[in-house]
Structure 1
Amino acid sequence: MIRVFGSISFDSFGEPRSYTEDELELMMTVATSVATAYANAMLFAAEQEQRRTAETLREVARVLSSSFDPHEVLPLVLAELRKLINYDTATIMLVDGSVLRIAAASGWPIDSAPLGRTLPIEASGAGNVVRQREPILLVAPPDSTIWPKGDIGDRILTWLGVPLISKGRVLGVLNIDSYRRNAFNARDLEVAQTFANHAAIAIENAQLYQESVARVEQELAIARQIQSNLFPRTLPSCSGVSIAARCLPARETGGDFYDVIDLGSRVGIIVGDVSGKSLPAAMLMAVARSTARSEARNHEFPRLVMAETNRWLVEDVPRNTFVALGYALIDPIEHRLILSNAGQLAPLLRHSDGRTSFLETAGALPLGMQRDTRYNQIELELFPGDTLVFYTDGVVEAQNRQHELFGFDRLEQLVRHWGHLPPEALLERLLAEVRSFSEGRAVHDDMTLVIVRMEPETAMHNGA
């Protein structure tokens, strides 16, 4: 195929002349050489342009995949588009039921950007793009415009609408506008389609991420509500002991829970921590608490309470989940404590004279892991002024900015020093110390404290 690029003119001034066959052949050779050089230059320029475009598109794809926030992705799409196509204004319209809604705009002053404006899919140029699932290029005829006077786009003389399609679904339309006629060529159309494919994937990923975040936030709200409903609204009164309890759920909503059970002249203390986070952990927490509470009323000894609770949980909880639980039965009349532990941290006992010790029991698996696990218990005498501190790992594993743990030693020192305080005051002191140690760092695990103090039988002070 012969392509004509132009012509070379040879002129004679002063007198007419004619050219010989040899001269004409030479002229033809020169013209052919010039045409070849020009064609090669055009091919080289086109190749360089394609290479630059391809590199820019790769960079665009990388940039667009750098964020999953829809509020960041949409403006980013239009900013990256300007690197490829010189436009005056551009918008992204997303499908919203039977209309297209402008979700991002570029080229307008901030106070006049048409964000939120809608157009019907059935009766609009952008709607035609959605229905046809193909790009549409419009150029205004002479002395006229594409869109009606008074429209926000009444200055547009060239309009390119490109569908945003991901996984076969039309998400919206990329509108590219120019105030000049014939502003976009075939190359722009091809680039716009490729760009729109990258943009559609980025937009869909951002939408899916947003939906996922909303779903997680909803689950967290439900989980927090379940967790808060499980805590006793008021603590039972029991002659001879005073009690304070608090659970501070982390934002992620872990699985800490506690319960204080009125068993007549005795009181049962349950402190637990279930594996996992969010809604599954909250559901497991509800099952574990209700089961342990029921078994505490049915059995005399804590080791039996643990064994029966474990038997039920093994059947009900999902695989690879478990419950670390401690159960203490306190008899203020007999001055006796019976403690059984299933993977929970050892409670801290402070005697009235300031001596402290951790109440270790023989090691046993957390509940829900193995059906026929046997649990041990320890029994010891309590005296007026003795204080028991039950806690979960969120307390001792709190970290400061140097990633140091709050730790057991620090907890023991604080209880030894402040253990003479009433339970509610001691609880507030310990939480304040943890907060001060953490230096404002976000809490990533629940913190639970239950403090029991042995009082003379005539005393009866309980705090929630």
Structure 2
Amino acid sequence: MARRMCRSVGRRRCCSPTSATRISGPRSSARGSTRTSRLEPKTTGVSRTSSVRSGWRRTPPAPARKPLDMSEAADAAETRSLPKGASIRDYWTDGSISALCAVLTELSGVTIELRDEKDRVLPPGMSADEPGVETPVPPGAVLFPIEVEEQRIGSVVVHPGREGATRDIAVRAARLVASAAREICTDVSELRHRVAEIDSLYQLSAMLVRGGKAEDTLAAALRSALNLLELHAGSIMLLPEDADGLAKGESEADLERSVAINLSEAWLSNPLPLSKDREFDRRALNGEVVVSEDLSTDPRVLLPEQCVAEGLGSFMCAGMVFDGRPIGVIRVYDREKREFTRSERRLLRSIGQSAAASVEQARLIKLRARERRTQRALRIAGTVQQRMLPVTVPTVPGIDLAARYRPSFEIGGDFYDLFVAHDRLVVVAGDVVGKGVAAGLLMSAVRATMRAYAELSDDLELVMARTNDALCRDTTVNEFATAWMGSIDPGTRELRYVSAGHDRPALFRANADGVWEHELLEAGGLVAGVQPGEVYPLERRTLRPGDVLLVFTDGITDALSFAGERFGRSRLLACVTEFLRAEPDATASAIVDRVFWAIRQFSGLRQQADDETMVVLRVY
């Protein structure tokens, strides 16, 4: 049965025959003194049974509990303690092992008895609270220790007697009893540790799911670790959010104190690390649980005298890592020198992982809140930018106007403007470098500058030159813009225009046979904002009734399909030509609709990487 119970917790432990010790002289009754302080009853995890075969049985599963609120979870984590199992009394139920030893004594005639960790006899029928019988182990006796986590919790003792087959059988039987007891106690101890670990993680997870403050969850995690491990002091130190690991050097200045318990301000504010070259923290963040059983003599400790002054005897540290990214470290201390078991190390690692998850969740919540605020600000800025574009087109005799602007993000870098100055219709289109907030601010500056200069002078060469000089003066080397500006006299239909590196507009005109042809309006001039003193030559054209002028930005021709193919200038010109051939009297607004519909058919629902702007002018 011991084998079945051992396998039920996932692995076979302590299955080798128990080694025997022959006693050659009196034994001290004080042997095996252990830590005895605990906050939970000794019978936690086991219950009494009348079974004579084992004397122990597993605790039935606890009923389902409702999640605790934040205060309940913190209080529960603070008041529980991990049962140490330092004595066989901690696994005592109905005394079946003592009764089995008594039966073996009757059968063999050789005295076989069960003793606790202080070598006190535990006779049949006694309870776990009774002190036992203070009787020295007789010389020549054979002792089979019962160990859990490399700690002796009791023993099975075979008294000396006449050598022979009967005594040999008694010794072999005692060895098997001790081995079975050791296996069962090891299983129960493992189960207790697992139950305590799961219970602690349950409480921390309840706090985590409820989305409380990270500081509260970390404080509960540290209190839980100290109480479950029966330790004296501890701290949780966090790395900066953007850190990839520990900084180099003998300083902890990169760590931020999150929570600390029973540690002095002098200890916490000391920038020097506990270990040389920060070995403890580095190994912890690499996945190890680092242990120092004696801080005063450990050669890895940088300042052992400070540990003595602080009253710290031993130390354990685990890394807080989430999804491979270091978050911080959890450090716990004991006043005394102490050995830490595998179960205790595993428990601290689990608590550290839960603490790391709580920190990461809190950071994500903060990041999402910040992102929501940013998105709201961008929407507002985009609305403001839209208001800066013409709300209505000016009414000019003999000219039909239409325009459309579609940004790729909330804030775009394209712009256009339509206004009347000096009795001429002024048309402006431009595209600043980049996207987002920076591009939107630059766009607003360029548009305002061009309008201000155009209202002061009708010399387009001068307007563009002054705009270029202003950009060169007020912006950085990587900020520039393309722009096209034209002005039309409604009476003479004369078009004057200048260009600062902008896409060439297209002029559509029907020839004498009624066939629609197009011409790209050439103009020289460098992009604005690159070279101060740049000259922008003025070009002229005379428009005729029926002419269509198409001014656009590169977002129109750079629109991509799902196959990654560009819409291109040729498709744009063909689209407008075919539409005018089908509808020669189409309005400017209808032409804009047709072009954007063609782009939609070409690129589908694909999100475009650039703003799309178009102005259409038709002469009547």
Query: What's the TM-score bracket when you normalise by the shorter of the two chains?
Result: 0.5 to 0.7
Show the counterpart of 2:206: 91
Equivalent residues of 1:245, 1:451 under 8 A apart: yes
The 1:345–1:212 alpha-carbon spacing in structure 2 relative to 1, beyond 3 Å, is farther
Equivalent residues of 2:480, 2:527 under 8 A apart: yes
User: Secondary structure at 2:496's aligned position in 1?
Assistant: strand
Equivalent residues of 2:430, 2:484 under 8 A apart: yes
Match of 2:502 among 328, 344, 362: 344
Q: CA deviation at 1:326?
A: 1.0
Show the counterpart of 1:399: 560
Show the counterpart of 1:103: 211
Letter in 2 for 1:16: G
Letter in 2 for 1:280: A
CA offsets per residue over residues 159-181 of structure 1, 9 Å max, x none?
A: xxx999854457xxxxxxxxxxx
Aligned mates of 1:382, 1:317 — CA distance in 2: 37
Show the counterpart of 1:324: 482
Q: CA deviation at 1:311?
A: 0.9
Aligned mates of 1:232, 1:244 — CA distance in 2: 11
Letter in 2 for 1:351: R
Equivalent residues of 2:201, 2:351 under 8 A apart: no
Q: What pairs with 1:40-439 in structure 2 (closer than 5 Å)?
A: 87=202, 90-92=205-207, 102-103=210-211, 134-136=222-224, 166=238, 167-169=256-258, 186=344, 189-353=347-511, 354-362=516-524, 364-419=525-580, 420=584, 421-439=586-604
Show the counterpart of 1:16: 109
Equivalent residues of 1:352, 1:387 under 8 A apart: no
Q: CA deviation at 1:91?
A: 1.6
TM-score by structure 2 length?
A: 0.50
Aligned mates of 2:536, 2:453 — CA distance in 1: 14
Letter in 1 for 2:223: P
Letter in 2 for 1:428: D
CA offsets per residue over residues 303-354 of structure 1, 9 Å max, x none?
A: 2211100111222234412121111122233332222111221111101331
The 1:315–1:35 alpha-carbon spacing in structure 2 relative to 1, beyond 3 Å, is farther
Aligned mates of 1:25, 1:375 — CA distance in 2: 114
Q: CA deviation at 1:393?
A: 1.6
Equivalent residues of 2:480, 2:530 under 8 A apart: yes
Letter in 1 for 2:207: I
Aligned mates of 1:42, 1:373 — CA distance in 2: 91
Aligned mates of 1:297, 1:103 — CA distance in 2: 58
Letter in 2 for 1:381: T
Show the counterpart of 1:63: none
User: Secondary structure at 1:350's aligned position in 2?
Assistant: strand
Q: CA deviation at 1:391?
A: 0.8
Show the counterpart of 1:446: 611
Q: CA deviation at 1:291?
A: 0.3
Q: CA deviation at 1:88?
A: 8.7
The 1:318–1:38 alpha-carbon spacing in structure 2 relative to 1, beyond 3 Å, is farther
The 1:27–1:281 alpha-carbon spacing in structure 2 relative to 1, beyond 3 Å, is farther
Aligned length: 359
User: Secondary structure at 1:337's aligned position in 2?
Assistant: strand
CA offsets per residue over residues 122-180 of structure 1, 9 Å max, x none?
A: xxxx99877788324899xxxxxxxxxxxxxxxxxxxxxx999854457xxxxxxxxxx
The 1:319–1:20 alpha-carbon spacing in structure 2 relative to 1, beyond 3 Å, is farther
Stretches of structure 1 lacking an aligned partner (at least 5 in a row) = 51-80, 95-101, 105-120, 140-161, 171-184, 456-464
Q: CA deviation at 1:268?
A: 1.1
Letter in 2 for 1:92: M
The 1:418–1:14 alpha-carbon spacing in structure 2 relative to 1, beyond 3 Å, is closer
Letter in 1 for 2:528: L
Equivalent residues of 1:238, 1:266 under 8 A apart: no
The 1:129–1:336 alpha-carbon spacing in structure 2 relative to 1, beyond 3 Å, is closer
TM-score by structure 1 length?
A: 0.64
Equivalent residues of 2:480, 2:528 under 8 A apart: yes
Letter in 2 for 1:11: L
The 1:38–1:335 alpha-carbon spacing in structure 2 relative to 1, beyond 3 Å, is farther
Aligned mates of 1:359, 1:164 — CA distance in 2: 69
Q: CA deviation at 1:213?
A: 1.6
The 1:136–1:380 alpha-carbon spacing in structure 2 relative to 1, beyond 3 Å, is same
The 1:27–1:322 alpha-carbon spacing in structure 2 relative to 1, beyond 3 Å, is farther
User: Secondary structure at 1:11's aligned position in 2?
Assistant: helix
Q: CA deviation at 1:425?
A: 1.1
Q: What pairs with 1:449-464 in structure 2 (closer than 5 Å)?
A: 449-455=614-620
User: Secondary structure at 2:211's aligned position in 1?
Assistant: strand
Higher Rg = 2
The 1:128–1:330 alpha-carbon spacing in structure 2 relative to 1, beyond 3 Å, is closer
Equivalent residues of 2:409, 2:436 under 8 A apart: no
Aligned mates of 2:413, 2:437 — CA distance in 1: 9
Equivalent residues of 1:227, 1:257 under 8 A apart: no
CA offsets per residue over residues 221-255 of structure 1, 9 Å max, x none?
A: 13212221111122222223211111122234221
Q: CA deviation at 1:300?
A: 3.1
Q: CA deviation at 1:437?
A: 1.6
Equivalent residues of 2:110, 2:167 under 8 A apart: no
User: Secondary structure at 2:360's aligned position in 1?
Assistant: helix
Letter in 2 for 1:220: L
Equivalent residues of 2:217, 2:358 under 8 A apart: no
Show the counterpart of 1:55: none
Q: CA deviation at 1:20?
A: 3.9
User: Secondary structure at 1:135's aligned position in 2?
Assistant: helix
Q: CA deviation at 1:369?
A: 2.3
Equivalent residues of 2:208, 2:217 under 8 A apart: no
The 1:11–1:228 alpha-carbon spacing in structure 2 relative to 1, beyond 3 Å, is same
Letter in 2 for 1:414: C
Aligned mates of 2:484, 2:224 — CA distance in 1: 69
Identity %: 27
Tell me which of the two structures has the higher relative contact order, counting C-alpha pairs closer than 8 angstroms and 6 or more residues apart: 1
